[in-house]
């Protein structure tokens, strides 16, 4: 169970809000985020009070909101709220920004209430040095209206992650409907073959991960359609996310892999160095 007493919470709507005690942070039972998962979110790593890659995350929040046809809160409001929950925090934290459709009818149509905006900052436990992944039987739909959108409709990920955990893994990998490698429940995936690093294209339906974006900008990576068999023949595999950074995979579907392999280790080192140099790259 997360220790919610350590959470710093900001609660409001797209016109304003304030810090509240975690025990007093309540959202309406009519909120469309609650009734139909009509919302978008961001997860951002915070180091000693400084959110990493904040500009990129706020841009993605805005494009996710636009994809759902939701007005985007003013950038000045978002920056103010971020400052109020992160400033003065020590160590590594995880900041979640959630924007939902606000109070609405019980069905899928939206009401005209203000959008709910919630920010929560909690201490983030460190990931183990390596991780294990399994491929799940369910597919990502690259044709979905939510493909590439960081929406709060994550129940498919909840099911897949539970399936993976029952098999001793910490991440579940999806193929898409075309049978190509897509992404994990909360990560993007990279494979290394003969020293060449590849990752699925955005057309695979994966989220345009901020960590993925930075690894592509900072390292030599090919974006391509990858058949699922590519996983079985990969020399190295790593996954990326805002909390995992570059995370070497030591086992895929029971097959052992070097973790980190030499190429992943170089990318990991470079990522740490660049991220330390540029907190908002």
Ligand X SMILES: Cc1ncc(COP(=O)(O)O)c(C=O)c1O
Residues that bind ligand X (CB under 6 A): 43, 183, 186-188, 206-207, 209-212, 240-242
The HSE-up count of residue 56 (CA atoms within 13 Å, CB side) is 18
Phi, psi of 134, deg, nearest 5: -130, 155
Least distance to ligand X from the beta carbon of 258, Å? 23
Least distance to ligand X from the beta carbon of 21, Å? 27
Distance CA 51, CA 55 (A): 9
81 versus 210: smaller Cβ distance to ligand X: 210
Least distance to ligand X from the beta carbon of 186, Å? 4
Residue nearest to ligand X (CB): 209
Least distance to ligand X from the beta carbon of 242, Å? 3
Q: Return the number of other C-beta atoms located less than 10 Å from residue 24's C-beta.
A: 8
134 versus 206: smaller Cβ distance to ligand X: 206
Q: Beta strand pairing status for 92-100 and 116-123? A: antiparallel
Distance CA 83, CA 46 (A): 11
Closest-CA residue to 115 (of 56, 74, 154): 74
Structure tokens at 110: 């939206």
209 versus 261: smaller Cβ distance to ligand X: 209
Q: Is the CA virtual torsion 149, 154, 155, 161 positive or negative? A: positive
30 versus 154: smaller Cβ distance to ligand X: 154
142 versus 183: smaller Cβ distance to ligand X: 183
Least distance to ligand X from the beta carbon of 96, Å? 10
Least distance to ligand X from the beta carbon of 265, Å? 19
198 versus 241: smaller Cβ distance to ligand X: 241
Phi, psi of 204, deg, nearest 5: -70, -15
């Amino acid at each position: 169970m997360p220790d919610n007493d350590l959470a710093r919470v900001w609660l409001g709507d797209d016109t304003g809000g304030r810090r509240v005690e975690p025990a007093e942070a309540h959202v309406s039972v009519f909120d469309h985020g609650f009734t139909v998962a009509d919302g978008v979110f961001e997860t951002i790593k915070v180091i000693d009070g400084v959110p990493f890659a904040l500009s990129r995350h706020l841009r993605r929040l805005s494009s996710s909101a636009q994809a759902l046809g939701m007005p985007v809160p003013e950038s000045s409001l978002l920056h103010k709220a971020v400052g109020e929950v992160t400033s003065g925090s020590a160590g590594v934290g995880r900041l979640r920004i959630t924007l939902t459709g606000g109070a609405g009818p019980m069905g899928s149509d939206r009401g005209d209430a203000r959008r709910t905006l919630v920010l929560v900052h909690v201490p983030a436990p460190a990931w183990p040095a390596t991780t294990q992944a399994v491929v799940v039987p369910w597919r990502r739909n690259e044709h979905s209206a939510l493909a590439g959108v960081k929406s709060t409709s994550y129940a498919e990920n909840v099911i897949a992650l539970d399936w993976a955990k029952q098999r001793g893994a910490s991440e579940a990998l999806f193929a898409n409907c075309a049978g190509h490698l897509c992404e994990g429940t909360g990560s993007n995936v990279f494979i290394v073959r003969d020293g060449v690093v590849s990752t699925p294209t955005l057309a695979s339906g994966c989220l345009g991960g901020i960590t993925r974006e930075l690894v592509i900008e900072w390292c030599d990576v090919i974006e391509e359609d990858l058949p699922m068999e590519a996983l079985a023949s990969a020399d190295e595999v790593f996954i990326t996310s805002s909390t995992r950074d570059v995370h070497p995979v030591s086992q895929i579907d029971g097959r052992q892999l070097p973790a980190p392999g030499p190429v992943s280790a170089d990318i990991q080192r470079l990522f740490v160095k660049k991220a330390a140099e540029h907190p908002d790259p």
